């Protein structure tokens, strides 16, 4: 039962092959049995899951038939869940029970999805390895001595290990796509503004976007269809109709123009990953696609620009964690300054502090123009690169990551080497365009991901290409040994 | 040495919107602590701001009223600093692209001259909460009801040259925001707060001296006192060979002094940057024109009209147009009685001393505009004299009648204009004062002039003030001259 996709679960529930209660009970048991090896959950909400599953069964019995009605899912622990611990992977929120539901959480609950719990993540979504969590590192089910990627590492590990068929994640610089690539999943970062950020604890507000991680493109389409759409509570959420992502999954790819940016295949890329990606290109050609070499010349500036903008926004977004109203407060503060210094000093981990410091510096008087303003200009150039490229091609294809999943602890001493792992994913966040990662094969038993990028609001196209590829390949159906 | 004072003011006006600037919470003053604070106002993780359109409309109203350039693309920025009553650790404000740009406001000084004060900008921002230090032994209480209340921060040019001018300017802003209906102007509740930037320089010197900023002065009287005190402090400091340092100071009304709060070195680096949770707001021409259409007649326009339409002096016109309510009252009186000058005299004279005495606002006046207008009508048609009119006014204020006619009737105050009756009364008065009549007739012209008043007084007394004074004068003269 734990290998079923959301689409298969929908059919099984409709055919009464099993009930939502049976399904969630089975997965909760599996979480209890296997998660100690992975550490993918911070909180398991067994009781709530059971009552949601019962409610879903009752709705089905009453004639409802929604695709997600009774489907088990889990949420990255930065989505606020009313009355349930919402930690953001941080000590500073170790005791924070959110007083409200994020829009994404509320929409999935309304669709009848059953939430099994809250998933581990890099602290405040800052990281590419899920090693910065206050609740401990998450392990990659494909090799538990390796990282699952981050920051949505708990989401990726749980879905890859069959603890839950799909999960929510968030992507600020690659945090859905990179862990999806490292754990053989399909994950999509929607266009900025496609999914409401209300209730999503902010890391970098102008880059953050929620989205699904699942085993197939079809499941991503199902989940995205449920969470996308306008929300008056988020001023950056776009009031545009949501496409029927399922309806276009089966469109043929004949005539699809794929762009291969030469900068994505340069130095730094593991050549074995390059080979796997080019094999995907060959497969897509067989499905009728044409291929064109393109250039995205400002790629080299993406990491520096990102590591100014994201920390700058984070330094401000994380100011509210001050020990005054909620979350961690230091013992016996002697005065206000002591309260601030120790609550934040003791409550935040090293990577979060590093980015708050970098961001504070970048916004300081005398440095603003040199860093923040310049980074914004680079951001515009990167966006222009994409706008130009999409004049010639329909989608852009390349590797999701330059390397395979690395060993736990391997990059701890060298944060910049970890930052460089996001080189191919960060540009989509800076430009605001949608991006998808899907399984593209294996190297030394470790998954390889391929990334597809499309123009604004063309999530349907990304899901269509991925789904068509998954109809003629079986990488996405492979499962890690032991799970 | 002769010193010149240079003052620039920053006024924070709380906009009287129904709900807060970035959340749906109510903005009522004086509610139980933290009962008007939503998830957004509390800075809960994951919450996001949504701009209140009404706040923008009000700011645009103000911009149009001061003839300012309007920021067509408005950008909200975060001002970052830590304080317990600032829940998010930043205040959402505006920096490079404020809603209101350069404008100006004309103020009337005490001598009746009109001075133009430049307004640098006015921008929208959210208010912070309040820290409560009493009643919490060894701790502070935080009330976030006020957090997120919309503020319009109005920044003047350093055009003001004295504490009196500063007060006149703040009064003019106070009147304007109330005219526009965008702020209740209640300074005691903090709806209008003022920061004063004060410096001095030797008269004739072009460059400004170093300024000190006096924070949060909350009454017209304190503004005047705080500035005067600060000017004196700076002059004494310089004359004693010292230097003014750029700093923030607090005015203590109990001790009538300002004291240092923090120096420039200790000042925060606010790290302003555009708020990524709010999109730029583009003001469309149609929106601006719609707001322009909603503008009432403004104090300056009203003052000019009172001068031209009613022939009032600049000073009278300024006083009467100082608040919309007073101006409306005056115009209502004028409409009933058809005599602007009498109406102005009564409103600025009897009425305003009555209100002052009882500490009332014009809206609370015990004498309505219709009552006062009716009273003036009776002066004009000689039913009563000016002196009797004051009695009638007092009776109306005391609620002793529905209108002037009723009071006059009830108290028998109607003026006597029947010359037969007046003559009979005069005859009695003269007979009772035969000795004085003798003296009068024996005196020369100069002496007679002085004595005449005595007979008038006696006559008015005898008639209980009801005899028509003109007729009394005329008939008395005739009788005395024989």
Catalytic position from the list A19, A76, A152, A411 = A76
Mutate to test the interface with B, among A86, A94, A123, A325 (most CBs of B within 10 A): A325
Question: CA neighbours within 13 Å on the CB side: how many for B149?
Answer: 26
Distance from CA of A384 to the nearest CA of B (A): 20
Closest alpha carbon to B150 in B128, B165, B167, B118: B128
Interface test with A, best of B48, B53, B76 (most A CBs within 10 A): B48
- Return the H-helix or E-strand segment holding A386: helix A374-389
Residues 6+ apart with CB under 8 A from B373: B332, B333, B334, B335, B336, B337, B343
Contact residues on chain A for B88, CB-CB shorter than 8 A: 319-320
Mutation to test the B interface, candidates A238, A239, A314, A322, most B Cβ within 10 Å: A322
Chain A residue numbers with beta carbons less than 8 Å from the beta carbon of B87 are 320, 324-325
Q: Per the CB < 8 Å rule, is B271 touching A364?
A: yes
A vs B: CB pairs below 8 A: 101
Q: φ and ψ at B342, to 5 degrees?
A: -60, -40
CB B223 within 8 A of CB B194: yes
Give A245→chain B minimum CA distance, Å.
27
Q: How far apart are CA A286 and CA B455, in angstroms?
A: 125
The verdict on a CB contact (< 8 Å) between B46 and A206 is no
* Among candidate residues B219, B235, B236, B225, the one with its CA nearest the CA of residue B258: B225
Burial degree of A391 (CB within 10 A; 0-12, 13-18, 19+):
exposed
Which residues of chain B carry a pLDDT beneath 50? none
SS3 content of chain A, % helix, strand, coil (to 5): 40, 15, 40
A86 to B51: CB separation less than 8 angstroms, yes or no: no
The residues that bridge with A97 in the sheet, in sequence order, are: A85
Q: Are A403 and A174 in contact (CB under 8 A)?
A: no
**What is the four-CA torsion angle of B375, B381, B382, B388, rounded to 10 degrees?**
0
Interior CA angle at B30 toward B25 and B35, to 5°?
40
Inter-CA distances, B301 with B63, B184, B310, Å: 16, 21, 13
Q: Is B264 on the interface with A (CB under 8 A)?
A: no
pLDDT at residue number B452: 87
Start-to-end CA span in chain B (Å): 70
ipTM of the complex: 0.96
- Residue pair A147/A137 in contact by the 8 Å Cβ criterion: yes
Count Cα neighbours of B322 within 13 Å in the Cβ-side half-sphere: 16
Q: What is the DSSP letter of A445?
A: T
Interface test with A, best of B46, B93, B270, B274 (most A CBs within 10 A): B46
Of A386 and B425, which is predicted with more confidence? A386
* Structural domains in chain B, sorted by start: 3-291 (no CATH), 297-411 (no CATH), 419-481 (1.10.10.410)
Asked if A340 and B82 come within 8 Å (Cβ–Cβ), the reply is yes
Q: Give the per-residue pLDDT at B238.
A: 95
The string of pLDDT tens digits covering residues B382-435 is 888 888 899 999 999 999 989 999 988 888 788 787 888 888 888 888 888 888
Q: List chain A residues with CB under 8 Å of B278.
A: 235-236
Neighbours of A106 (CB within 10 A): 20
Which residue in A has a C-alpha nearest to residue B144's C-alpha? A325
pLDDT of residue B290: 97
Of residues B252, B209, B215, the one with CA closest to residue B231: B209
Contacting residues of B for A232, CB less than 8 Å apart: 50
Answer yes or no: do A326 and B44 touch at CB < 8 A.
yes
| CB contact (8 A) between residue A98 and residue B84 | no
Spell out the residues 6+ positions from residue B359 whose beta carbon is closer than 8 angstroms to its own. Answer: none
C-alpha–C-alpha distance, residues B382 and B387, integer Å: 12
Structure confidence by residue, pLDDT tens digits, A435-451: 999 999 999 999 999 99
How many angstroms from the chain centroid is the CA of residue B322? 6
Q: Do A234 and B87 touch (CB under 8 A)?
A: no
Q: Say if the Cβ atoms of A232 and B78 lie within 8 Å.
A: no
Share above pLDDT 90 across residues of chain A, in percent, rounded to a whole number? 97
Q: Is A417 a catalytic residue?
A: no
Closest CB to A325 among B43, B46, B277: B43
For residue B143, the model assigns a pLDDT of 93
Q: Which residues contact A78 (CB under 8 A, 6 or more apart)?
A: A86, A88, A89, A121, A124, A125, A170, A200, A201, A203, B46
β-strand A257-261 against A395-399: which pairing, if any?
parallel
| CA–CA gap between residue A368 and residue A441 (Å, rounded) | 44
Among A19, A128, A132, A175, the one annotated catalytic: A175
Euclidean distance between CA atoms B349 and B472, whole angstroms:
27
Report the gap between the CA of A458 and the closest CA in chain B (Å): 22
Give CA–CA dist A456/B84, Å, rounded. Answer: 41
A151 preceded by cis ω (within 30°)?
yes
Q: Nearest by CB to A316, which of B49, B78, B279? A: B78
Whole-number pLDDT of residue B473: 86
CB contact under 8 A, B87 and A363: no
Is B80–A365 a contact, with Cβ atoms under 8 angstroms apart? no
Q: Which residues of A have a CB under 8 Å from any CB of B? A: 78-80, 86, 88, 93, 96, 98-100, 102, 197-202, 204-206, 232-236, 312-313, 315-316, 318-322, 324-326, 336, 340, 360, 363-365, 368, 372
CB contacts, 8 Å: A322 with chain B: 82, 84, 89
Beta bridge partners of B374: none
Q: How far apart are CA B287 and CA B99, in angstroms?
A: 13
Asked if B277 lies within 8 A of A316 by C-beta distance, the reply is no
What are the C-alpha distances in Å from B8 to residues A27, A305, B94, B156, B261? 68, 40, 19, 6, 19
Calpha distance A310→A300 (Å, rounded): 17
Q: How far apart are CA A418 and CA B428, in angstroms?
A: 116
- Chain A interface includes B89 (CB < 8 A): yes
Instruction: Give the whole-angstrom CA distance, residue A398 versus residue A342.
Output: 45
Q: Is residue A281 within 8 Å of residue A314, measured between CB atoms?
A: no
Given A24, A128, A151, A315, the catalytic residue: A151
Q: Which residues pair with B11 in a beta bridge?
A: B154, B194
Which residue, among A233, A357, A358, A365, would best test binding to B if mutated, counting the most B CBs under 10 Å from its CB?
A: A233
Q: How far apart are CA A143 and CA A407, in angstroms?
A: 9
The string of pLDDT tens digits covering residues A67-114 is 999 999 999 999 999 999 999 999 999 999 999 999 999 999 999 999
- Which of A77, A170, A316, A375 has the most B C-beta neighbours within 10 Å, making it the best mutation to test the interface with B? A316
* Record: contact A96-B45, CB cut-off 8 A: yes
**How close is the nearest chain A Cα to the Cα of B206, in Å?**
29
Task: In whole angstroms, give the CA distance from residue B277 to residue A234.
Answer: 8
Q: How far apart are CA A161 and CA A36, in angstroms?
A: 12
Q: How far apart are CA B405 and CA B407, in angstroms?
A: 5
Hey, are the CB atoms on A326 and B142 less than 8 Å from each other?
no
- Chain B residues within an 8 Å CB radius of A312: 273
Q: Does B80 sit within 8 Å of A205, measured CB to CB?
A: no
Distance CA B406, CA B354 (A): 21
Cβ–Cβ < 8 Å for A211, A436: no
State how far Cα B31 lies from the chain centre: 27
Q: What is the 3-state secondary structure (H, E, C) of chain B?
A: CCEEEEEEEEEEEECCCCECCCCCCECCCCCCCCCCCCCCCCCCCCCCCCCCHHHHHHHHHHHHHCCCCECCEECCEEEECCCCCCCCCEEEECCCCCCECCEEEEEECCCCCEEEEEEEEEEEEECCCEEECCCCCCCCEEECCCCCCEEEEEEECCCECCHHHHHHHHHHHHHHHHHHCCCCCCCCCCCEEEEEEEEEEECCCCCCCCCEEEEEECCHHHHHHHHHHHHHHHHHHHHCCCCCCCEEEEEECCCCEEEEEEECCCCCCCCCEECCCCCCEECCHHHHHHHHHCCCCCHHHHHHHHHHHHCCCHHHHHHHCCCHHHHHHHHHHHHHHCCHHHHHHHHHHHHHHHHHHHCCCHHHCCCCHHHHHHHHHHHHCCCCCHHHHHHHHHHHHCCCCCCHHHHHHHHCCCCECCHHHHHHHHHHHHHHCHHHHHHHHHCCHHHHHHHHHHHHHHHHHHCCCCECHHHHHHHHHHHHHC
* Residues in chain B, overall count: 482
Closest-CA residue in chain A for B84?
A324
In chain A, what residues touch B276 (CB-CB under 8 Å)? 204-206, 236, 313
What is the predicted pLDDT for the residue at A422?
93
Task: Give which of A349, A319, A327 is closest to A135, Cα–Cα.
Answer: A349
Tell whether B82 is within 8 A of chain A (Cβ).
yes
- DSSP single-letter state for residue A369: I
Q: How far apart are CA B22 and CA B55, in angstroms?
A: 10
Q: Is A377 a catalytic residue?
A: no
Residue B424 contacts A where some CB pair is shorter than 8 Å = no
Does residue A376 sit in helix, strand or coil?
A: helix
Closest by alpha carbon to A318, among B456, B75, B82? B82
Touching check for B311 and chain A: CB below 8 Å?
no
Are B80 and A316 an interchain contact pair (Cβ–Cβ within 8 Å)? Answer: yes
pTM listed for this prediction: 0.90
What does the pLDDT read at residue B482?
64
A97 is catalytic: no
- Give me the residue from B51, B84, B279 closest to A336, CB to CB: B84
Domains in chain A and their CATH numbers? 6-253+458-477 (3.90.1300.10)
């Amino acid at each position: 039962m734990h290998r079923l996709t959301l689409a298969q679960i929908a059919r099984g529930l409709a055919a009464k092959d099993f009930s939502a209660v049976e399904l969630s009970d089975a997965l909760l048991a599996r979480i209890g049995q296997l998660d100690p090896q992975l550490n993918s959950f911070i909180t398991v909400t067994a009781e709530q899951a059971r009552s949601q599953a019962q409610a879903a069964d009752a709705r089905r019995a009453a004639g409802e038939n929604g695709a997600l009605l009774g489907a088990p899912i889990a949420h990255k622990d930065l989505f606020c869940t009313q009355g349930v611990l919402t930690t953001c992977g941080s000590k500073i929120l170790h005791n924070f029970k959110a007083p409200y539901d994020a829009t994404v959480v509320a929409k999935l609950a309304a669709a009848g999805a059953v939430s099994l719990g809250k998933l581990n993540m890099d602290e405040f979504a800052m990281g590419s390895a899920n090693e910065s969590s206050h609740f401990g590192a998450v392990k990659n089910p494909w090799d538990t001595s390796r990282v699952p990627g981050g920051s949505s590492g708990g989401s990726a590990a749980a879905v890859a290990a069959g603890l839950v068929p799909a999960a929510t994640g968030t992507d600020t610089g690659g945090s859905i796509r990179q862990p999806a690539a490292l754990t053989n999943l399909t994950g999509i970062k929607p266009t900025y503004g496609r999914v409401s950020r209300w209730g999503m604890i902010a890391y970098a507000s102008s880059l953050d976007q929620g989205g699904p991680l699942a085993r197939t493109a079809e499941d991503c389409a199902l989940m995205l269809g449920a969470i996308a759409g306008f929300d008056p509570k988020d001023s950056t959420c776009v009031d545009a109709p949501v496409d029927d992502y399922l309806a276009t999954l089966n469109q043929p790819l004949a005539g699809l123009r794929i762009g291969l940016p030469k900068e994505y295949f340069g130095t730094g890329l593991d050549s074995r990953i390059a080979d796997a990606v080019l094999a995907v290109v060959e497969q897509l050609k067989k499905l009728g696609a044409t291929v064109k070499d393109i250039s995205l010349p400002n790629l080299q500036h993406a990491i520096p620009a990102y590591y100014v903008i994201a920390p700058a926004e984070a330094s401000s977004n994380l100011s509210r964690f001050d020990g005054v109203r909620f979350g961690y407060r230091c013992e016996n503060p002697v005065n206000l300054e002591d309260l601030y210094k120790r609550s934040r000093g003791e409550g935040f981990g090293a990577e979060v502090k590093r980015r708050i410091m970098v961001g504070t510096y970048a916004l300081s008087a005398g440095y603003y123009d040199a860093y923040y303003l310049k980074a914004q200009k680079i951001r515009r150039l990167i966006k222009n690169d994409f706008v130009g490229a999409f004049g010639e091609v329909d989608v852009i294809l390349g590797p999701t990551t330059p390397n395979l999943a690395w060993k736990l602890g391997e990059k701890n001493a060298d944060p910049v080497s970890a930052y460089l792992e996001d080189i191919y994913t960060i540009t989509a966040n800076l430009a605001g365009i949608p991006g998808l990662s899907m399984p593209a094969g294996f190297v030394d038993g470790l998954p390889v991901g391929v990334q597809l990028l499309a123009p604004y609001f063309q999530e349907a196209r990304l899901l269509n290409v991925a789904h068509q590829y998954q109809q003629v390949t079986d990488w996405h159906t492979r499962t890690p040994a032991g799970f | 040495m002769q010193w010149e004072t240079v003052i620039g003011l920053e006024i924070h006006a709380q906009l009287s919107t129904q709900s807060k600037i970035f959340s749906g919470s109510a903005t009522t003053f004086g509610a139980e602590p933290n009962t008007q604070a939503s998830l957004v106002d509390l800075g809960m993780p994951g919450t996001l701001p949504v701009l209140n359109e009404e706040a923008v409309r009000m700011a645009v109203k103000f911009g149009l009223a001061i003839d300012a350039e309007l920021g067509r693309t408005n950008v909200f920025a975060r001002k970052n600093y830590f304080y317990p009553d600032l829940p998010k650790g930043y205040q959402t404000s505006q920096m490079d692209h404020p809603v209101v740009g350069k404008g100006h406001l004309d103020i009337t000084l005490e001598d009746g001259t009109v001075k133009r004060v430049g307004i640098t900008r006015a921008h929208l921002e959210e208010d912070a909460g309040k820290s409560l230090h009493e009643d919490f032994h060894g701790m502070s209480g935080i009330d976030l009801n006020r957090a997120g209340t919309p503020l319009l921060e109005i920044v003047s040019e350093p055009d003001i040259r004295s504490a009196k001018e500063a007060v006149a300017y703040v009064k003019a802003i106070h009147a304007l925001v109330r005219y526009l209906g965008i702020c209740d102007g209640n300074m005691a509740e903090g709806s209008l707060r003022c920061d004063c930037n004060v410096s001095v320089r030797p008269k004739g010197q072009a460059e400004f001296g170093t300024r000190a900023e006096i924070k949060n002065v909350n009454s017209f009287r304190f503004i005047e006192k705080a500035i005067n005190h600060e000017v004196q402090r700076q002059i004494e400091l310089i004359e004693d060979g010292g230097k003014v340092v750029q700093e923030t100071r607090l005015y203590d009304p109990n001790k009538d002094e300002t004291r240092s709060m923090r120096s420039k070195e200790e000042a925060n680096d606010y790290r302003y940057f555009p708020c990524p949770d709010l999109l730029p707001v583009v003001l469309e021409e149609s929106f601006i024109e719609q707001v322009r259409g909603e503008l009432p007649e403004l104090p300056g326009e009203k003052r000019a009209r009172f001068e031209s339409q009613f022939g009032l002096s600049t000073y009278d016109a300024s006083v009467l147009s100082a608040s919309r309510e007073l101006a409306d009252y005056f115009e209502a009186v004028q409409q009933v009685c058809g005599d602007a000058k009498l109406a102005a005299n009564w409103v600025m004279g009897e009425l305003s001393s009555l209100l002052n005495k009882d500490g009332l606002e014009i809206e609370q006046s015990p004498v309505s505009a219709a009552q006062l207008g009716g009273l003036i009508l009776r002066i004009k048609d000689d039913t009563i004299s000016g002196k009797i009119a004051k009695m009638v006014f007092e009776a109306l204020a005391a609620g002793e009648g529905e209108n002037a006619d009723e009071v006059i009737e009830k108290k028998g105050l109607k003026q006597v204009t029947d010359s037969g009756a007046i003559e009979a009364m005069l005859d009695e008065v003269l007979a009772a004062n035969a000795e004085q009549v003798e003296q009068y007739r024996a005196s020369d012209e100069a002496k007679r002039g002085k004595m005449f008043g005595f007979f008038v007084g006696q006559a008015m007394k005898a008639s209980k003030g009801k005899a028509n004074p003109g007729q009394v004068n005329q008939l008395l003269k005739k009788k005395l001259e024989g």
